[in-house]
Amino acid sequence: MTSVNPTQRPARSVLVTGGNRGIGLAVARAFADAGDHVAVTYRSGQPPQGFLAVQADVTDPASLDAAFAAVEAQQGAVEVLVANAGTTRDQLLMRMSDEEFDAVVDANLSGAWRVARRAVRGMVRAKRGRIIFMSSVVGLYGSPGQTNYAASKSGMIGLARSIARELGSRGITANVIAPGFIDTDMTRELPEATQADYKARIPAARFGDVDDIARAALFLAEAGYVNGAVLPVDGGLGMGH
Ligand code: NDP
């Protein structure tokens, strides 16, 4: 790609999974505002305006492969991957079914692994790349009723660090953002008492905004010498773990 963004560096080919709403949409907008070529995946609903939108379910490798092929054809191989798609199926451990556990791990952890595996093909060829995994504060903090979700989110840390060790010498970084309680559809679904309980424990005394996460993603996309790191963006809730 030859176009130049407002910061006078070449525009990058960026892909954000789950970029049709919430954190993913804010991240996609931030990269687009920075002058990059941005593609998003959406699974359901309407594709968002202003980006190359490709339909994909991260639990389905064939749909991911087709999505990557479309992105590569339109804006070049992915240079910055934000593996953001994620889901919850909360339930107390004793009541959680195998299906509830497996579905969340398949979407959040295996899904992130699938998109990373597909993205590094082009990154290895280009000898550069940025992979950013959207984990969660609860991956290290724990969360009652979220054994599936917390396990999937802490798994992303081992995933990122292994990629960092495997591909760091090829100019590829893999880092993790651990958002705290961010105001999106996902958290609006939580009971009011749970929301109040979290707010009382956050030193910043407020929930985060999607743009707080977008700024962290922009930083990690720039930071060539930050690799295998976990960046908490949680108002101090996890105290950096
Ligand atoms: P939302 O529920 O608002 O959005 C989730 C996104 O993921 C949607 O775009 C959704 O697509 C997509 N998605 C879910 N499952 C799949 C799948 N199988 N294949 C493809 N896409 C899928 O969540 P948030 O914006 O709040 O969260 C984004 C990420 O940040 C998630 O990984 C979440 O775990 C993480 N996070 C969020 C926190 C918060 O407080 N909000 C805190 C910590 C981490 P569709 O619209 O089709 O459902």
- CATH number assigned to the domain comprising residue 202: 3.40.50.720
Q: Residue 170: which pLDDT band, with cuts at 50, 70 and 90?
A: very high
Does the structure show a pLDDT above 70 at 6? no
The per-residue pLDDT for range 79-135, each reduced to its tens digit, is 999 999 999 999 999 999 999 999 999 999 999 999 999 999 999 999 999 999 999
Q: Is residue 1 part of a domain?
A: no
Classify residue 197: in a domain, yes or no: yes
How far is the centre of ligand 1, averaged over its atoms, from the C-alpha of 84 (Å)?
Answer: 6
Asked whether 68 lines ligand 1 (CB < 6 A), one says no
- Say if pTM beats, i.e. exceeds, 0.90: yes
Question: Does residue 149 carry a catalytic annotation?
Answer: yes
pLDDT at 1 exceeding the cut of 70: no
Is 155 domain-assigned? yes
Task: Using the predicted structure, report yes or no on whether residue 74 has a pLDDT greater than 80.
Answer: yes
Residue whose CA is closest, atom 34 of ligand 1? 86
Confidence of residue 5 (pLDDT cuts 50, 70, 90): low
Nearest alpha-carbon partner for 33 in 53, 52, 11: 11
Range of the domain at 149: 13-233
**Quick check: is 2 in a domain?**
no
The verdict on residue 210 lying in a domain is yes
Is the distance from the beta carbon of residue 132 to the nearest atom of ligand 1 less than 6 Å? no
Let me know if residue 7 belongs to a domain.
Answer: no
Q: Which of 141, 149, 198, 225 is catalytic?
A: 149
48-58 pLDDT, tens digit each: 999 999 999 99
Q: Where are the beta strands (DSSP E) in 57-152?
A: 80-83, 129-134
In this prediction, residue 189 has a pLDDT band, given cuts at 50, 70 and 90, of: confident
Task: Sort 223 into a burial class: Cβ within 10 Å, 0-12 / 13-18 / 19+.
Answer: middle
**Residue 129's closest CA among 58, 211, 227?**
227
How far, in Å, is the centroid of ligand 1 from the Cα of 207?
Answer: 17
Tell me, yes or no, whether 20 lies in a domain. Answer: yes
Identify the residue whose C-alpha is closest to ligand 1 atom 19. Answer: 57
At 190, the pLDDT band (50, 70, 90 cuts) reads: confident
Rounded to the nearest angstrom, the distance between the alpha carbon of 87 and the centre of ligand 1 is 5
Q: Span 143-164, mean pLDDT?
A: 98
C-alpha dist (Å) from residue 47 to 21, 31, 104, 222, 240: 10, 17, 23, 27, 35
- Predicted pLDDT at 238: 95
**Count of structural domains within the chain:** 1
Question: Would 8 be classed as within a structural domain?
Answer: no
Kindly indicate the confidence band of residue 38, based on its pLDDT and cuts at 50, 70 and 90: very high
Look at residue 240 in the predicted model and tell me its pLDDT. Answer: 83
Atom of ligand 1 at shortest range from CA of 22:
25
Residue with tokens 């389905």: 60
Give me the interface pTM, i.e. the ipTM. Answer: 0.99
